[in-house]
């Protein structure tokens, strides 16, 4: 089947196409391509077949969890596969009014940074934690791109457990890469910045980009049991842009690889300035050697200022600590630790095959896909097949490390994943297709159009030693006519492709949240059994928990009022509160007394300059409220919890400042109990 | 097929069940019910059939748009039917970091209220605009429950066009009801409050609930061409709780009906206190007569303070106006305008059949569903078949208005919709089922279990004169084991049921965002052709628009810096900016110069205490940033827009306060152009 894009690719002269790539002209081309992929009788049979393949019968479960980055949504969205159903939107870097994340007193600290409270980020790359190079379903690591951070999501609760800020980074795109046993989560800067060795960046002229700007690679240690992260050290690297990171496995497992672009060090109009050189680099770093250098005294220390936010399980509350120092290595001072492999023009994806022998580098402006050999790379180092050095880092000869080039793969290769059966699949942004090629002879054996402008693709386990090669997910940047129109703003789109046979087969289009960049997937059987259903009330150590209705309380200290409230079907205790005054800071600490799965309660009060708080069984969540007017304000449970949910409601009386209405609170009693003010 | 719940219902004594309802005990029961709905060979054939029915082939479009309320998400989610795919999440009452809604300077004002900026609400009931009692696909009206507001969504752009706050309301749940030609959108209070006739609520003892608290019904006028809303008047009503609103059609089209509960006027532990009386009321209001009373001088005026926020199309910017007065009628002063019809114990849903003759009132604690007759109701008024009055409002005799009771329908009836073929479908919260009954003889003819604890149900057009009776959507409050587990917090769930045949047939489970309360659906053919693809750059009247790169600018006034920036594949202009100082207030006004569908650009700068801003083609969006540190800050396009998207990036240099670095900005030139500071 030929699409408009593939026809164009076959017929057009290459030079013209490169211009088209640069101008993004192909994107308009997309709108000329008809969305329909199959017509006639055969197609109809195919379609019914596909329907059955993706249909998950009501009450049955999907085979796989897939974790799609939300991109500019800042969150991770969890889809079941093969159905494409959205099982959960996990808030990570963005405020999420739906459950109060980033609004409740317990979660606010998770979004603290050295720049203050940051309510959003751009989340690109989910990476599952690993054991022996295989995903183990314990944690999901993700990057915040704009204000550099790495987060860890706990897959027993599907909650963000931890966020660590990265100093000396700017555009944390080349991130995160967990090594094969989570020894480190490694994160490279996308943008270089003028680092001030006294901390932060320098106030220098932007015209001094080439001389002053540097990149960094962060090495985050991960506690093998708890998953807790800690920034161990950084490597300061040349002032290129670093795009994507992936690591070795098997023979290459000590190594992590980074694509770079802008080795030209252009500081403005990078569209043109960073596309001058015919080759940029794949940067290879021996992370074990780096760790050894850091351990054995090569690391220096510099001032820094970065936040580390962690969810305390016992109180279910995030706490921030501020770190003031960071250790760093200079790449040029650590022999054998870092090498540069020339790679075609502005490479984007770097992907290592399941054996660990091949490094596939997709140059978005290149007309072929180079496949580097890890053993050749090692030999080239031994044999000193160098082509000079760049900023003190040895550059290897292209031919010395190259295994082969995949010829005429399509236009705009971006990313490659593997099926574990000897095949590689590369996404072609410009020609809007997925191209399948063999690792044995590097020949293209199949191609399938995707709609439109695919970025990342994902095969469940496709970056591990043993991919689960049944499905491939294409994540597309352009949607246009694929779904019913929704005005100028459209959802982005994923396509599920069956790769179990010789020919790829399109099964399903499903819309996605935000912009899915990368995704990972794992068999449900690994994650589902460990999923936590409730928080145990007994283990709740929140300082303002009320474990039963008798412990509820309203108390004043100065102009701060703490309300210890409980929620259980179908009432809040207390549900009548008096004695609060205009200008008080009122904290509603609401404990959900339920101990059944899927019985959350919500809490909101009229006029609050805040989101609701959604409280899971056994947990305590706090909503802050500063009343501005005297009068009576209703509050209620916001999550329909029982036949008498509508009745689960109360009132707060607010009196003028200085009023003598005493604090009183009750549920169901006729007379307010007067309580002495503290 | 018998479920655990239906068995229980059949065997248990009624009194015991009412206790079970009140305790919400049935919810636990749900977890004992196996999710599977079909087993064996026949089931497998059924399942493949269902798969084909809901499968929308890649590139093909869904037949229907459905608009599901997001409940505590504050948004509206648009799903395609029959596929159940999420086409769009429209931000309405909550901040939405994904596209900057509620964070950008253009959208912030949309969330202004008399209580200040409110970043969230609880959205329950989407109602499509109407023409002659049929949905016309122009606008969608929705309610904000917590801080009472009504919003209008424009279905050409799928954007929130307008939000109006409602004074004298608390818990705007009984809302919105648009009359058959959108003459009014009518909205009733859920909670009553002690109204201060000088504006706002009074600081009174909560023990005085019964004497002091009142409800209100708001009448919002809608401009027939533009859809603009305006609060015309209110009716002050007795201090009950008002639950749901629906209006007549045909013979009854002058009337709107409201279910009430808590006619006991309990102010605490309503779970018990509001469930004492055997009957509460259906309140019937002749809205045309009310409008006439208001027009003809019966309305008084009282001080008020409420916000009205509107999106200006030319600048694509929301603006707030504050209203200071409201007109009101007292129900007891307007003869013939309002009546109370006794309805069984705490009624929830009120739904009027397509003919306009029958009003179906679902009492969540009642064992039968009463069906009132509109003609009997009119006769009873004529014949003065009254049973006294309540707060000055005539109460009709139950028997005088009752057509029939639907007997033994199930447990916990909540809502009813119609298929236009003589059938009604009622959701049963407690027994977790949908029950089909005939309008001809009020006999139950079919029932189907749903998983679990259904709230609202929806038939496309099911509340209009001519329902599109092919599908029914069940929106369930409890999910438990229906999907792969995602920790304690689970998505809520919808189920699509085929109602085209005699027996209902379950087709699909799909997860939903937030808590879907009500939903409405409409044929795609009515909405899709009017969908706007781009904003015309020519028509952009934003005060800081740059319609081409030559018009870009950076200018300072005191400590405020305005950056007029453009975005087009693949660069931002300017992309190098100097002369900004620590503590400046910087406004990035970014105009997307693209004029192609689905080519948005995004904008973010490192460390901003803000969300990104996502800019549709032809629009200008503004991100505010106050730099706190000197140094260099990268900014970039956050939406992958072309093969050279990664290069679409720039730098802002920030110098210390009082520095003499001049304002300079450029893209691609080597030397900064110095610009005089204003």
The reply to whether residue A451 touches residue B508, judged by beta carbons under 8 angstroms, is no
Shared domain for B437 and B508, answered yes or no, is yes
Q: Convert the pLDDT of each residue in B274-325 to its tens digit.
A: 989 989 999 999 999 999 999 999 999 999 999 999 999 999 999 999 999 9
- CB distance A78 to A92 below 8 Å: no
- Determine the pLDDT at residue A42: 53
* Selection from A431, A469, A471 nearest residue A449 by Cα: A431
Low-confidence ranges of chain A (pLDDT < 70): 1-46, 670-678
Shared domain for B501 and B595, answered yes or no, is no
Using pLDDT thresholds of 50, 70 and 90, give the confidence band for residue B42: low
* Selection from B262, B146, B257, B132 nearest residue B209 by Cα: B262
- Determine the pLDDT at residue B670: 57
- Determine the pLDDT at residue B345: 87
Full DSSP string of A176-196: EEE-TTSSEEEEE-SS-B-B-
Report the gap between the CA of A650 and the closest CA in chain B (Å).
7
ipTM score of the complex? Answer: 0.94
Where residue B92 falls (left for φ over 0; alpha for ψ -120 to 50; beta otherwise) is alpha
The reply to whether residue B95 touches residue A97, judged by beta carbons under 8 angstroms, is yes
A676 located within any domain: no
Average pLDDT over all residues of chain B: 92
From A493, A509, A530, give the residue that closes a domain.
A530
- CB distance B522 to B64 below 8 Å: yes
A675 located within any domain: no
- Closest partner CB to A647 (pick from B23, B270, B598): B270
Shared domain for B372 and B244, answered yes or no, is no
A4 located within any domain: no
Where residue B383 falls (left for φ over 0; alpha for ψ -120 to 50; beta otherwise) is alpha
Shared domain for B419 and B312, answered yes or no, is no
Q: Sign (positive/negative) of CA torsion A4, A7, A9, A14?
A: negative
The reply to whether residue B193 touches residue A509, judged by beta carbons under 8 angstroms, is no
Residue of B nearest to A506 (CA): B58
Q: Convert the pLDDT of each residue in A105-124 to its tens digit.
A: 999 999 999 999 999 999 99
Shared domain for B106 and B245, answered yes or no, is yes
The reply to whether residue A147 touches residue B491, judged by beta carbons under 8 angstroms, is no
The reply to whether residue B118 touches residue A659, judged by beta carbons under 8 angstroms, is no
pLDDT over threshold 70, residue B23: no
CA distance A461 to A469: 8
Full DSSP string of B465-501: SS--TTEEEEEES--GGGS---SS---EEEEEEE-SS
Domain count, chain B: 3
pLDDT over threshold 80, residue B3: no
- Closest partner CB to A412 (pick from B24, B598, B643): B643
CA distance B420 to B468: 7
The reply to whether residue A489 touches residue B88, judged by beta carbons under 8 angstroms, is yes
CA distance A201 to A222: 27
From A505, A530, A555, give the residue that closes a domain.
A530
Q: Convert the pLDDT of each residue in B85-116 to its tens digit.
A: 999 999 999 999 999 999 999 999 999 999 99
For the residues B431-442, what does the mean pLDDT come to? Answer: 98
Residue of B nearest to A641 (CA): B477
Shared domain for A325 and A306, answered yes or no, is yes
Using pLDDT thresholds of 50, 70 and 90, give the confidence band for residue B365: confident
- Determine the pLDDT at residue B437: 98
Shared domain for B337 and B353, answered yes or no, is no
- CB distance A634 to A649 below 8 Å: yes
CA distance B94 to B69: 13
B272 located within any domain: no
A128: Cα separation from own chain's centroid: 10
Residue of A nearest to B159 (CA): A487
Q: Which residue has the higher pLDDT, B34 or B668?
A: B668
Q: Convert the pLDDT of each residue in B179-212 to its tens digit.
A: 999 999 999 999 999 999 999 999 999 999 999 9
| Helix B40-54 and helix A40-54, axial crossing angle in degrees, nearest 10 | 120
Largest distance between two CA atoms of chain B = 90
Report the gap between the CA of A275 and the closest CA in chain B (Å).
9
- Determine the pLDDT at residue A366: 86
Using the CB atoms, write b or e for A501-528: b if 16+ within 10 Å.
eeebbbbbbbbbbbbbbbbbbbebebbb
The reply to whether residue B644 touches residue A38, judged by beta carbons under 8 angstroms, is no
- Token digits of residue B490: 């689970």
Q: Which residues in chain A touch residue B606, judged by CB atoms under 8 angstroms apart?
A: 115, 146-148, 170-171
Report the gap between the CA of A147 and the closest CA in chain B (Å).
5
Shared domain for A91 and A176, answered yes or no, is yes
Residue of B nearest to A365 (CA): B643
Shared domain for B228 and B316, answered yes or no, is yes
- Determine the pLDDT at residue B48: 74
Shared domain for B226 and B317, answered yes or no, is yes
- Determine the pLDDT at residue A48: 74
A303 located within any domain: yes
- Determine the pLDDT at residue A363: 86
- Token digits of residue B152: 């209008």
B533 located within any domain: no
Question: Residue A319, class by beta-carbon neighbours within 10 Å (0-12 exposed, 13-18 middle, 19+ buried)?
Answer: middle
- CB distance B426 to B432 below 8 Å: no
- Determine the pLDDT at residue A21: 43
- The phi and psi torsions of B324 (rounded to 5 degrees) equal -120, 0
Q: Convert the pLDDT of each residue in B598-646 to its tens digit.
A: 999 999 999 999 999 999 999 999 999 999 999 999 999 999 999 999 9
- Token digits of residue A280: 């940029």
- Closest partner CB to B27 (pick from A52, A86, A642): A642
From A468, A496, A530, give the residue that closes a domain.
A530
B536 located within any domain: no
- Percent above pLDDT 90 for chain B: 89
Average pLDDT over all residues of chain A: 92
Domain extent at residue B389: 1-30+349-513
Shared domain for A619 and A508, answered yes or no, is no
Residue of A nearest to B486 (CA): A158
Report the gap between the CA of B296 and the closest CA in chain A (Å).
32
- Determine the pLDDT at residue A342: 96
A357 located within any domain: yes
Q: Which range among A27-36, A64-73, B159-168, B529-538 shows the weakest confidence by mean pLDDT?
A: A27-36
- Closest partner CB to B120 (pick from A113, A120, A612): A612
Q: Which residue has the higher pLDDT, B671 or A247?
A: A247
For the residues B247-253, what does the mean pLDDT come to? Answer: 97
Q: Which DSSP symbol is given to B667? A: S
pLDDT over threshold 70, residue B40: no
- CB distance B421 to B439 below 8 Å: no
- Closest partner CB to A97 (pick from B120, B489, B598): B120
- Token digits of residue B555: 């200018």
Query: Could you give the 3-state DSSP secondary structure of residue B513?
Result: coil
Report the gap between the CA of A118 and the closest CA in chain B (Å).
5
CA distance A478 to A482: 9
The reply to whether residue A643 touches residue B51, judged by beta carbons under 8 angstroms, is no
Report the gap between the CA of B301 and the closest CA in chain A (Å).
20
Instruction: List the alpha helices (DSSP H) in B314-425.
Output: 374-382, 398-401
CATH code of the domain containing A117? 2.130.10.10
Shared domain for B327 and B354, answered yes or no, is no
Residue of A nearest to B581 (CA): A203
CATH code of the domain containing B609? 2.60.40.420
Residue of A nearest to B86 (CA): A511
Report the gap between the CA of B662 and the closest CA in chain A (Å).
11
């Amino acid at each position: 089947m030929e699409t408009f894009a593939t026809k164009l690719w076959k017929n057009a002269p290459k030079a013209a196409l490169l211009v088209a790539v640069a101008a993004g002209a192909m994107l308009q081309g997309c709108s000329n391509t008809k969305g329909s992929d199959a017509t006639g009788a055969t197609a109809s049979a195919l379609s019914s077949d596909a329907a059955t393949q993706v249909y998950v019968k009501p009450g049955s479960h999907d085979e796989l969890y897939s974790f799609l980055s939300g991109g500019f949504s800042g969150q991770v969205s969890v889809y079941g596969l093969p159905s494409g159903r959205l099982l959960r939107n996990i808030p990570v870097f963005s405020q999420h009014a739906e459950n109060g994340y980033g609004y409740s007193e317990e979660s606010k600290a998770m979004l603290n940074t050295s720049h203050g409270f940051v309510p959003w980020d751009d989340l690109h790359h989910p990476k599952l934690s690993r054991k022996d190079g295989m995903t183990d379903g314990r944690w999901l690591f993700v990057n915040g791109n704009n204000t550099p951070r790495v987060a860890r999501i706990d897959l027993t609760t599907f909650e963000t457990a931890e966020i660590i800020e990265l100093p000396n980074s700017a555009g944390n795109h080349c991130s995160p890469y967990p090594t094969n046993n989570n020894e480190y989560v490694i994160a490279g800067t996308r943008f270089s910045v003028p680092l001030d060795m006294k901390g932060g960046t320098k106030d220098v002229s932007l015209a001094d980009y080439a001389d002053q700007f540097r990149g960094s690679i962060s090495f985050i240690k991960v506690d093998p049991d708890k998953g807790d992260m800690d920034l161990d050290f950084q490597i300061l690297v040349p002032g290129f842009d670093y795009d994507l990171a992936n690591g070795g496995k098997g023979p290459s497992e000590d190594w992590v690889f980074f694509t770079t672009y802008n080795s030209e060090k252009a500081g403005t109009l990078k569209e043109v300035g960073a596309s001058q050189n015919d080759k940029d680099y794949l940067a290879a770093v021996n992370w074990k050697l780096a760790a050894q250098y850091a351990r054995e005294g090569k690391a220096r220390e510099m001032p820094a200022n970065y936040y580390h936010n962690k969810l305390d399980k016992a109180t279910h509350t995030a706490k921030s600590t501020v770190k003031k120092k960071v250790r760093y290595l200079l790449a040029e001072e650590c022999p054998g630790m870092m090498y540069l492999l020339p790679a075609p023009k502005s490479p984007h994806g770097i992907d290592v095959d399941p054996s660990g022998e091949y490094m596939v580098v997709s140059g978005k402006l290149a007309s072929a896909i180079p496949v580097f050999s890890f053993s050749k790379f090692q030999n080239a180092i031994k044999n000193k097949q160098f082509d000079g050095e760049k900023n003190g880092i040895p550059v290897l000869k292209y031919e010395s490390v190259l295994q082969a080039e995949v010829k005429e793969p399509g236009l705009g290769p971006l990313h490659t994943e593997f099926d574990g059966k000897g095949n590689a699949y590369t996404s072609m942004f410009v020609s809007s297709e997925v191209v399948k090629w063999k690792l044995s002879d590097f020949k293209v054996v199949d191609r399938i159009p995707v709609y439109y402008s695919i970025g990342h693709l994902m095969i469940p386990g496709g970056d591990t030693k043993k991919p689960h090669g049944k499905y491939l997910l294409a994540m597309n940047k352009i949607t246009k006519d694929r779904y019913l129109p929704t005005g100028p703003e459209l959802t982005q789109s994923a396509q599920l492709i069956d790769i179990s046979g010789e020919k790829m087969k399109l099964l399903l289009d499903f819309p996605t949240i935000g912009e899915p960049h990368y995704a990972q997937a794992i068999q449900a059987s690994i994650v589902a059994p460990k999923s936590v259903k409730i928080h145990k009330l007994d283990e709740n150590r929140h300082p303002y928990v009320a474990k039963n209705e008798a412990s509820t309380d309203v108390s004043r200290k100065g102009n701060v009022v703490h309300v210890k409230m409980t929620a259980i079907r179908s009432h809040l205790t207390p549900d009548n509160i008096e004695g609060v005054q205009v200008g008080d800071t009122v904290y509603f600490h609401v404990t959900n007394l339920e101990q059944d799965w899927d019985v959350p309660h919500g809490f909101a009060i009229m006029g609050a300059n805040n989101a609701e708080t959604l409280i899971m069984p056994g947990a305590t969540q706090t909503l802050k409220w500063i009343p501005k007017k005297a009068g009576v304000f209703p509050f209620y449970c916001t999550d329909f919890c029982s036949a008498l949910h509508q009745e689960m409601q109360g009132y707060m009386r607010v009196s003028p400042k200085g009023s003598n209405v005493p604090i009183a609170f009750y549920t169901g009693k006729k007379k307010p109990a007067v309580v002495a003010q503290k």
